[in-house]
Chain A
């Protein structure tokens, strides 16, 4: 893949990461508000919202490198009614603006709690629609390897997996920052992390299981397909076998590693430093695994026709 071709995995991975992180964050916020005060949760989620917004901006910028004429990208939205690409772009921009508004209102000194909640759920809805649009772009008859519903499921599992690991990483880094700054709500942040990590590990593990299942389902579909499908399968198991094995290895090891860390955290009371490394490395492994998976997604497709 050349430089331009890498722009697509960058955009798709980053935007799904942002959507997944937003989804996981908001669900956690909703669940945790029964145990912790909404005001405290709003303080804790401020920095993650900023990171998600920043990720969405980078994704949008990266997407332009895929275009031969980036400055004419706004023309792509003109076919919203018929084109999934146009819809993807529109929902991407919409997702970005809702995130921006969410960030602004969440940091405001005035109490916009209800508006913030509404914006958060709206961003999630738009994001989930965006993921669907992204998946539908690839479901073309000319792209035999992509033209299955497994692509949609795969995109959603990637969203959930990347989101859960990202939020885990963000919360731990944010706690480390708060400890150094000696902010007053450190104890609450620690309890939020302890509460959140349990759920995040569960979500990540489920996402991995579904992801692996979908992957093998896709392989099964390819194996049942015609010549093109078989060619794709051959590419996967001959040329790209190491990468495939690497991907599987990383996405299995990562939740196991963080799961073990969470188990020790409950039993032995791990220090923050002992928790940071497993969370960070697990997030990195998941990211590498998913990016490799996305690379294999692009690398193994064979286009037929126009």
Chain B
């Protein structure tokens, strides 16, 4: 018995210690708020058990009275702490439904009656400790254990709902353990002559101590009879103290395990939160990278487009590239560009890009009639589909596609406050374009307008160049051919006169002079014809055009031409510079034909690497003619023109000539820088 009481006390002390240690841990978890009461219950209950142990041992008889009082107080306190813990488990962990507020109000009357009845039973022949113990068990242990048991069962339900199955099982175990404790600690009481104890654990006698009446009752009142300490021992073979100790141990086991599991769950939750945070950080970094790549792609495309425009690349090619890049960068299925035809005033498709190809509309005419596009042009405002449009609205957006669009973004092309066309992108799936996409589309639309403007300006420039060239030819014809023809006209008259006069020798001399004049005029005309024929077609390139010119020049003039190309055909000159280079060469060769009396001309084109990593094209025209003195040369105007041509494209001209030593003309023109070389924009994925 002493050992049993010791174990009983030990079990509760263990419960109290476990709860106390759990309190000191960090973190917030269910039960934490109620742990102080559980710890106090454990410590005080354990102390009560050990006091029982001392009382049972009888080893300290002189303190028996004090121990008895202490035992009563400790049992009362244990009961109160258990009641408080049970109330906290039931009410504070998870709020009860609102209507349960009225339960204390409803129970107040029965509770008052029970308390009154309990107080009346103290006036009995029994020792005072018995009613104290009985009513402590009935009024404190029993409801406290019930409340704690129901509270743990509520937790079992709650934890199951949030799928914490390992915790929920422990909650169930703790709940059932407390309910078991309610029976063995709260319901099984010492024998007493008053109910409810007397109804099932006394000699079936109801004793009215107040009037001294004793009533034998034959029928039980619904509860199991004989549920006192003796009957438990008789039925189970185990004393009630062992059952109580077992119940305490079971409660301690489940509660301590539940607290450990909560700790493990807390750590898991912290780890899960950390993992989630890491994932979120990674996702944020990836998003930033993606956003930066997208911005870089767009910047690259815009810069390259601007460069192409600045270099006066073919406008159609620029538009085609714009359409292709837009479709790639905006992840669209169709890109369209339409311009207003000046004659018919229809909006005609100019360029498109779909999944299969990107092309210009050169031969066929497709009129764009989609109302969204027309409205956008009329209102001068961009359009972004929101997803609530009807399908009919998107008809006519996608050309040469087997599907209709379900999302679109449209931007009007504005030039001098006039809508000259529209640029749009479309997707087949209902995935709308974003505001950022629209901003990029508007930027590209601006590039389209600039390209068209530059194209127009280039056409005008070309027209002006043609006009200038024609004026030059007219001038040369006036200065050269017209003069010669006028001279020949006079000479013919002179020949007639000499023939009449019979001066045949003079006639012969005049004829020789006339023949020279005609040959010079013929060479001039043929040279002009040759220069007019020389074209810098893209497909042939500058070097091929120069070679063709030199071959023809050699045939026409009979001068031996040697052409050395050390550039491997790759000059990397701007278009304007190429034109100027050809003009300089033509002028130089014209001077060779007219003034140098040379029989051999060497033309070389090389590429020179400068110290600052830039490159230059170096063209040399060497002849073995008579040379000239630079200062008083008749050719100074032509040389000046050549120098101006070279300097207009950032180059330079060097002339080296001495009488009797031939002439060398060297022209250096800067090449395009590496980053400005025409190449396909690299889209980073």
B206 within 8 A of A: yes
A263 within 8 A of B: no
Q: A2, B120: Cβ atoms under 8 Å?
A: no
Q: Report the minimal beta-carbon distance from B107 to chain A, rounded to whole angstroms.
A: 10
A130 within 8 A of B: no
Q: B105, A169: Cβ atoms under 8 Å?
A: yes
A292 within 8 A of B: yes
Q: Which of A14, A17, A235, A243 contacts B120 (CB 8 A)?
A: A243
B400 within 8 A of A: no
> What separation, in Å, do the CA atoms of A173 and B107 have in the docked complex?
13
Q: A177, B102: Cβ atoms under 8 Å?
A: yes
Q: Which of A176, A288, A299 contacts B115 (CB 8 A)?
A: A288
Q: B122, A242: Cβ atoms under 8 Å?
A: yes
Q: Which of A58, A173, A287 contacts B112 (CB 8 A)?
A: A287
Contact status of A288 and B123, CB under 8 A, knowing A2-B206, A3-B195, A299-B210: no
Enumerate chain A residues within 8 angstroms of B109, measured Cβ to Cβ.
Answer: 14, 17, 55, 58, 287
Cβ-closest chain B residue relative to A300: B210
8 Å CB interface, B406-420 against A:
none
A180 within 8 A of B: yes
8 Å CB interface, B106-138 against A:
108-109, 111-113, 115-117, 119-120, 122-123
Q: A284, B111: Cβ atoms under 8 Å?
A: yes
Q: B206, A292: Cβ atoms under 8 Å?
A: no
Q: Which of A9, A177, A246, A283 contacts B98 (CB 8 A)?
A: A177
> What separation, in Å, do the CA atoms of A112 and B614 have in the docked complex?
104
B66 within 8 A of A: no
> What separation, in Å, do the CA atoms of A169 and B119 have in the docked complex?
24
A193 within 8 A of B: no
Contact status of A243 and B101, CB under 8 A, knowing A2-B206, A280-B108, A287-B112: no
Q: Report the minimal beta-carbon distance from A281 to chain B, rounded to whole angstroms.
A: 10
> What separation, in Å, do the CA atoms of A292 and B427 have in the docked complex?
87
Q: Which of B101, B116, B122, B215 contacts A291 (CB 8 A)?
A: B116
B402 within 8 A of A: no
Q: B215, A2: Cβ atoms under 8 Å?
A: yes
> What separation, in Å, do the CA atoms of A51 and B112 have in the docked complex?
17
8 Å CB interface, A212-244 against B:
235, 239-240, 242-243
Q: B113, A173: Cβ atoms under 8 Å?
A: no
A1 within 8 A of B: yes
> What separation, in Å, do the CA atoms of A5 and B98 have in the docked complex?
37
Enumerate chain B residues within 8 angstroms of A68, measured Cβ to Cβ.
Answer: none
Enumerate chain B residues within 8 angstroms of A246, measured Cβ to Cβ.
Answer: 119
A261 within 8 A of B: no
8 Å CB interface, A247-306 against B:
280, 283-284, 287-288, 291-292, 295, 299
Q: Report the minimal beta-carbon distance from B392 to chain A, rounded to whole angstroms.
A: 50
> What separation, in Å, do the CA atoms of A242 and B119 have in the docked complex?
9
Q: B99, A177: Cβ atoms under 8 Å?
A: yes
Enumerate chain B residues within 8 angstroms of A1, measured Cβ to Cβ.
Answer: 120, 208, 210
Enumerate chain A residues within 8 angstroms of B102, measured Cβ to Cβ.
Answer: 173, 177
B220 within 8 A of A: no
**Chain B residues touching A, range:** 20 to 34
Q: B108, A292: Cβ atoms under 8 Å?
A: no
B502 within 8 A of A: no
> What separation, in Å, do the CA atoms of A174 and B655 have in the docked complex?
112
B237 within 8 A of A: no
Cβ-closest chain A residue relative to B213: A2
Q: Report the minimal beta-carbon distance from A2 to chain B, rounded to whole angstroms.
A: 6
> What separation, in Å, do the CA atoms of A194 and B210 have in the docked complex?
44
A181 within 8 A of B: yes
Q: A177, B101: Cβ atoms under 8 Å?
A: yes
One digit per residue, 1 when the CB lies within 8 angstroms of any chain A CB and 0 when it does not, for chain B 49-72 equals: 000000000000000000000000
Output the residue of A58, A240, A295 with the most chain B CB within 10 A.
Answer: A295
A132 within 8 A of B: no
Enumerate chain B residues within 8 angstroms of A138, measured Cβ to Cβ.
Answer: none
> What separation, in Å, do the CA atoms of A1 and B116 have in the docked complex?
12
Q: B123, A243: Cβ atoms under 8 Å?
A: yes
Enumerate chain B residues within 8 angstroms of A170, measured Cβ to Cβ.
Answer: 105
Q: A243, B119: Cβ atoms under 8 Å?
A: yes
Q: A176, B101: Cβ atoms under 8 Å?
A: yes
Q: B108, A284: Cβ atoms under 8 Å?
A: yes
Cβ-closest chain B residue relative to A173: B105
A6 within 8 A of B: yes
Q: Which of B108, B117, B123 contacts A283 (CB 8 A)?
A: B108
Enumerate chain B residues within 8 angstroms of A9, measured Cβ to Cβ.
Answer: 113
Q: Which of B101, B105, B117 contacts A6 (CB 8 A)?
A: B117
Q: Report the minimal beta-carbon distance from B475 to chain A, rounded to whole angstroms.
A: 99
One digit per residue, 1 when the CB lies within 8 angstroms of any chain B CB and 0 when it does not, for chain A 1-45 equals: 111001001100010010000000000000000000000000000
Cβ-closest chain A residue relative to B105: A173
Q: B112, A291: Cβ atoms under 8 Å?
A: yes
> What separation, in Å, do the CA atoms of A287 and B113 have in the docked complex?
8
Enumerate chain B residues within 8 angstroms of A169, measured Cβ to Cβ.
Answer: 105, 108
Q: B116, A173: Cβ atoms under 8 Å?
A: no
> What separation, in Å, do the CA atoms of A10 and B206 have in the docked complex?
20
B486 within 8 A of A: no
Q: Report the minimal beta-carbon distance from B262 to chain A, rounded to whole angstroms.
A: 28
Q: B116, A292: Cβ atoms under 8 Å?
A: yes
Q: A51, B105: Cβ atoms under 8 Å?
A: yes
B104 within 8 A of A: yes
> What separation, in Å, do the CA atoms of A283 and B210 have in the docked complex?
28
Enumerate chain A residues within 8 angstroms of B123, measured Cβ to Cβ.
Answer: 239-240, 242-243
Q: A181, B108: Cβ atoms under 8 Å?
A: no
Enumerate chain A residues within 8 angstroms of B206, measured Cβ to Cβ.
Answer: 2
Enumerate chain B residues within 8 angstroms of A288, measured Cβ to Cβ.
Answer: 112, 115-116, 119
Output the residue of B104, B111, B122 with the most chain A CB within 10 A.
Answer: B104
Q: Report the minimal beta-carbon distance from A254 to chain B, rounded to whole angstroms.
A: 12
8 Å CB interface, B63-114 against A:
98-99, 101-102, 104-105, 108-109, 111-113
Enumerate chain A residues within 8 angstroms of B122, measured Cβ to Cβ.
Answer: 242
Output the residue of A2, A6, A10 with the most chain B CB within 10 A.
Answer: A2
Q: Report the minimal beta-carbon distance from A209 to chain B, rounded to whole angstroms.
A: 22
One digit per residue, 1 when the CB lies within 8 angstroms of any chain A CB and 0 when it does not, for chain B 468-508 equals: 00000000000000000000000000000000000000000
Q: Report the minimal beta-carbon distance from B111 to chain A, rounded to whole angstroms.
A: 7
Q: Report the minimal beta-carbon distance from B635 to chain A, rounded to whole angstroms.
A: 104
8 Å CB interface, A26-74 against B:
51, 55, 58
Enumerate chain B residues within 8 angstroms of A173, measured Cβ to Cβ.
Answer: 101-102, 104-105
> What separation, in Å, do the CA atoms of A284 and B109 have in the docked complex?
8
Q: Report the minimal beta-carbon distance from B223 to chain A, rounded to whole angstroms.
A: 13
Q: B104, A280: Cβ atoms under 8 Å?
A: yes
> What separation, in Å, do the CA atoms of A55 and B109 have in the docked complex?
10
Q: Report the minimal beta-carbon distance from B68 to chain A, rounded to whole angstroms.
A: 19
Enumerate chain B residues within 8 angstroms of A295, measured Cβ to Cβ.
Answer: 116, 120
Q: Beyond the given A176-B101, A280-B108, A283-B108, could you list 20 further A-B residue pairs with CB under 8 A, ordered by the A residue number?
A: A2-B208, A3-B195, A10-B113, A51-B105, A55-B109, A170-B105, A177-B99, A177-B101, A177-B102, A181-B98, A243-B123, A246-B119, A280-B105, A284-B108, A284-B112, A288-B112, A288-B119, A291-B113, A292-B120, A295-B120
A-B contact pairs, 18 of them (CB 8 A): A1-B208, A2-B206, A3-B195, A6-B113, A14-B109, A173-B101, A173-B105, A181-B98, A239-B123, A243-B120, A280-B108, A283-B108, A284-B108, A284-B112, A287-B109, A287-B112, A291-B112, A299-B210
Residue numbers of B with Cβ under 8 A of A are 98-99, 101-102, 104-105, 108-109, 111-113, 115-117, 119-120, 122-123, 195, 206, 208, 210, 215
